[in-house]
């Protein structure tokens, strides 16, 4: 059995206290924070540089908004797995980000045990998606065997 690897996470949040909390939560569930962005511009640059498994992205970021960051990253990296962080209770803002391609959202006032659960569920979704993609890109050994048998039968 292959060893379980830690999820590599990019945290894009301009508020220090939120970054500190999220880093503590992520560390407590064996995630590796590979970068921290404090502006939307920095978030895009760090995503390109680190290519994380998961990204947590604040909607309200300076220099470039969260939805602008989301659009830009998903154009370049269509399989990016991004969860929006928000203090906004405006359902429309959240739904806009989901419709742009965010996988989920976490309100900043969510209790820590629930945040951990959302992150664990997101990681499982990520792994399932990766496995599905791997299955599609690798040749089916059973089909190869059938193809080989057909070639042998046609020549023999």
**pLDDT tens digits in sequence order for the chain, 156 residues long:** 444 678 899 999 999 999 999 999 999 998 899 999 999 999 999 999 999 999 999 988 999 988 899 999 999 999 899 999 888 666 777 888 888 888 888 888 889 999 999 888 888 887 888 788 777 655 444 444 333 333 333 334
Decide if 14 contacts 85 (C-beta within 8 A).
Answer: no
* Distance in angstroms (rounded) separating the CA atoms of residues 7 and 107: 21
- pTM of the model as a whole: 0.79
Decide if 27 contacts 33 (C-beta within 8 A).
Answer: yes
The pLDDT score that the predictor gives to residue 130 is 78
The pLDDT score that the predictor gives to residue 95 is 83
The pLDDT score that the predictor gives to residue 155 is 39
Architecture (CATH level 2) of domain 8-155: 3-Layer(aba) Sandwich (3.40)
Decide if 87 contacts 107 (C-beta within 8 A).
Answer: yes
The pLDDT score that the predictor gives to residue 89 is 64
* Distance in angstroms (rounded) separating the CA atoms of residues 156 and 150: 10
* Distance in angstroms (rounded) separating the CA atoms of residues 34 and 147: 44
Find the radius of gyration of the CA atoms of the chain.
20
Burial class (CB in 10 A: 0-12, 13-18, 19+), 113: exposed
């Amino acid at each position: 059995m292959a060893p379980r690897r830690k999820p590599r996470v990019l945290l894009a949040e301009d508020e220090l206290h939120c970054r500190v909390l999220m880093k503590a939560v992520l560390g407590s569930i064996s995630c590796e924070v590979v970068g921290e962005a404090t502006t939307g511009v920095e978030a895009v640059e760090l995503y390109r540089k680190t290519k994380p498994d998961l990204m947590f992205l604040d909607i309200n970021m300076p220099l470039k908004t969260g939805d602008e960051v989301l659009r830009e990253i998903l154009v370049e990296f269509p399989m990016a797995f991004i969860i929006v962080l928000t203090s906004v209770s405006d359902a429309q803002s959240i739904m806009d980000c989901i419709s742009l391609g965010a996988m989920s959202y976490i309100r900043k006032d969510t209790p820590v045990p629930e945040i951990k659960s959302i992150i664990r569920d997101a990681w499982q979704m990520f792994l399932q998606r990766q496995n599905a993609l791997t299955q599609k890109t690798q040749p089916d050994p059973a089909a190869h065997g059938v193809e080989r048998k057909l070639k042998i039968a046609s020549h023999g």
